Chain A
Amino acid sequence: DTGVSQDPRHKITKRGQNVTFRCDPISEHNRLYWYRQTLGQGPEFLTYFQNEAQLEKSRLLSDRFSAERPKGSFSTLEIQRTEQGDSAMYLCASSWRGSGNTIYFGEGSWLTVV
């Protein structure tokens, strides 16, 4: 049984560059979530997919952020024109209807913007 997989685990980028993170959910999980976590804080919800449809986006997801889930399988989160305030851990999670609203997280992708 493979869990949620995220890549890369760590990314250092210069301010103004674009970055993309990938998430592979648990097989057969049709629901996928992106969260952001900064030091000393709990995870903050960014966006939610059910299959390939992006059903909810947080106000935290500025115009520089875009998420996709083509074909309802893996997902990507792209950040354009990165800013130092984007430095955080980006967490992907997945679930399915039978999991009773339990969501299962990946190991996270650390982003440092210098």
Chain B
Amino acid sequence: AQSVAQPEDQVNVAEGNPLTVKCTYSVSGNPYLFWYVQYPNRGLQFLLKYITGDNLVKGSYGFEAEFNKSQTSFHLKKPSALVSDSALYFCAVHQTGANNLFFGTGTRLTVIP
């Protein structure tokens, strides 16, 4: 069975500071890992994904994520947070042979001006 854990319901960071949103996963086989962002009353927007290759993945809006196989983690990062980054962030995993993505419960990021 696949699972995704986002241990922090809420992350607060000051504007201009680096941010990290944590995600750990459990799947059978090699994982495909994703980050999505959701703004209020909107659908989910794709940010980035890891399939294979370089452990550091770069995505939209200056976000990046680091895949760590030994720790089964895929943390989302950004060097300098913007107020406009405030949103709900979801980590998701695709397990080999599955037809869908399995999502975590989300982390609400608030960037304080």
Q: How far is the CA of A103 from the CA of B90 in the complex (A)?
A: 13
A102 CB-CB contact with B under 8 Å:
yes
Question: Which A residues lie within 8 Å of B103 (CB)?
Answer: 42-44
- Is residue A106 contacting chain B, with contact meaning CB distance below 8 A? yes
> Is the pair A91, B105 in contact by a Cβ cutoff of 8 Å?
no
| Cβ-defined contact, B43 with A108, below 8 A | yes
Residues of chain A from 37 to 62 with CB closer than 8 A to chain B in the complex: 40-45, 48, 55-56
Contact B101 A103 (CB under 8 A): yes
Residues of chain A within 8 A (CB-CB) of B99 are 48, 55-56
Min CB distance B59 to A, Å, is 11
Contact at B42–A107, with CB atoms within 8 Å?
A: yes
**Contact-residue size bin, chain B (C-beta under 8 Å from the other chain):** 20 to 34
A108 lies within 8 A of B42 (CB): yes
Residues of chain A within 8 A of B56, CB atoms compared:
none
With both chains docked as a complex, state the minimum distance between the C-beta of A55 and any C-beta of chain B, in angstroms. 6
* Beta-carbon contacts under 8 Å, B27-50 to A: 32, 34, 36, 41-46, 49
Contact in complex: A106, B43 (CB < 8 Å) = yes
Q: What class of interface size applies to chain A in its complex with B? A: 20 to 34
Contact (A102, B49) CB under 8 Å given A43-B90, A48-B99, A55-B99: yes
Q: Mark A72-114, 1 if CB is under 8 A from B, else 0.
A: 0000000000000000000101000000111111111010000
Q: Once the chains bind, are A42 and B49 in contact (CB under 8 Å)?
A: no
Could you say which of B44, B100, B103, B104 has the most chain A C-beta atoms within 10 Å of its C-beta? B100
Which positions 93-112 of chain B face chain A at CB distance < 8 Å? 94, 99-106
Distance of A3 from chain B, by nearest CB (Å)? 9
Q: Is residue A33 within 8 Å, beta carbon to beta carbon, of the partner chain?
A: yes
Which of chain B's residues have a CB closer than 8 A to the CB of A55?
Answer: 99
Smallest CB-CB separation from A100: which chain B residue? B51
B residues touching A (Cβ–Cβ < 8 Å)?
Answer: 4, 32, 34, 36, 41-46, 49, 51, 90, 92, 94, 99-106
Q: List 24 A-B contacts (CB under 8 A).
A: A40-B106, A41-B106, A42-B90, A42-B103, A42-B106, A44-B103, A45-B101, A45-B102, A48-B99, A55-B99, A56-B100, A91-B43, A100-B49, A101-B101, A102-B34, A102-B46, A103-B101, A104-B46, A105-B36, A105-B43, A105-B45, A105-B46, A107-B42, A108-B43
